[in-house]
Amino acid sequence: MSVLDDIIAGVREDMAQRQRELPLEKVQERAAQAAPALDAFDALGGNDNPRGTLRVISEVKRSSPSKGALAEITDPAALAVRYEDGGAAVISVLTEQRRFNGSLADFDAVREAVRIPLLRKDFTVDEYQIWEARAHGADLVLLIVAALDDEQLRTFLDLTHELGMNALVETHTAEEIERAAAVGARIIGVNVRNLKTLEVDRSVFAALSESIPAGAVVIAESGVRNTADVEHFAANGANAVLVGEALVKHNDPAATIAEFMQAGAAAIAGRLQASER
């Protein structure tokens, strides 16, 4: 069993418990009462991406399967406010319990504290989780191509859009990018972490990003340690970077976000200039 398979097995068990406590019909009622979703596609520059702009998706992340405990984060709302103040375009909140020590309670706290789009970061394997995300005020959900067949991917993406949200469609290979494009994904992430081995290979991004269709927002996921990594991803086509560990372990995450945005903007400007020669 791969790491991804093991995580998904736990996700299904935890979801089943929540379903027993709150059936789908009740979740759908709550989703209908939630405030309309914010436009994460627009926030990430999908409708108008000014020349030389890099967005940052900042993550509330306590733990990870590869690194274990990262940060205590006793007040996720306060951390999210610092992210928003630093210029984050979107905030990602881990809600997976077993490997990432996240929760929907964390998500709710952050939703109350900030006014920018929120990504419910979890392993989506059932429509229940999408309705659940909307009921809690999510604007964006994660769909991992490696965890879904084509029918699930299309159905989940369609439901996400029907509920007014967007989806970050995560890929790891050229074949997965083709599958994401085939269902009309508008926000496509390339995760440079191998979900089978948990190893990071940053060169994967440059090799894959060129195959992402024009018009899609391109997200670099995992592997951002410093400005050099941001520059590398931005120079190779990233419109945004998703950053967790480098922010939660930093004493001044707002300043770090600003540094990453500045470094990314310079790299994008250089790439554009080179393409015009």
Per-residue pLDDT of the chain (277 residues; tens, 9 = 90+): 688 889 999 999 999 999 999 999 999 999 999 999 999 999 999 876 666 789 999 999 999 888 889 989 999 999 999 999 999 999 999 999 999 999 999 999 999 999 999 999 999 999 999 999 999 999 999 999 999 999 999 999 999 999 999 999 999 999 999 999 999 999 999 999 988 788 899 999 999 999 999 999 999 999 899 999 999 999 999 999 999 999 998 889 999 999 999 999 999 888 877 777 6
CA–CA separation, 52 and 25 (whole Å): 45
How far does Cα 205 stand from its chain's mean position? 16
Q: Is 102 left (phi over 0), alpha (psi -120 to 50) or beta?
A: beta
**What are the tokens at 83?**
């992210």
**What are the tokens at 185?**
């994904």
Least Cα distance to 208 among 179, 180, 237, 228 occurs for 237
pLDDT of residue 252: 94
Let me know the angle formed at the C-alpha of 25 by 22 and 31, rounded to the nearest 5 degrees: 90
CATH number of the domain where residue 126 is located? 3.20.20.70
CA–CA separation, 201 and 204 (whole Å): 6
**What are the tokens at 150?**
């084509």
Least Cα distance to 130 among 89, 92, 154, 159 occurs for 159
Check if the beta carbon of residue 259 is closer than 8 Å to that of residue 227.
yes
Can you give the residue range of the structural domain that contains 112? Answer: 3-276
Instruction: Return the bridge partners of 221, or none.
Output: 191, 242
Domain count, the chain: 1
Contacts by 61-64, CB closer than 8 A, 24 or more apart: 61/92, 61/94, 61/100, 61/102, 61/121, 61/244, 61/245, 61/248, 62/94, 62/100, 62/101, 62/102, 62/248, 63/99, 63/100, 63/101, 64/99, 64/100, 64/244, 64/245
Kind and range of the H or E run holding 12: helix 3-21
pLDDT tens-digit readout, 84-96:
999 999 999 999 9
In order of 20, 24, 75, 126, the CA distances from 61 in angstroms are 27, 27, 12, 23
Buried/exposed code over 122-154 (b: 16+ C-beta within 10 A; e: otherwise): bbbbbebbbbbbbbbbbbbbbbbbebbeeebbb
**Based on the number of CB atoms within 10 Å of its own CB, is 215 exposed (0-12), middle (13-18) or buried (19 or more)?**
exposed
Least Cα distance to 90 among 210, 252, 239 occurs for 239
Least Cα distance to 239 among 44, 9, 19, 101 occurs for 44
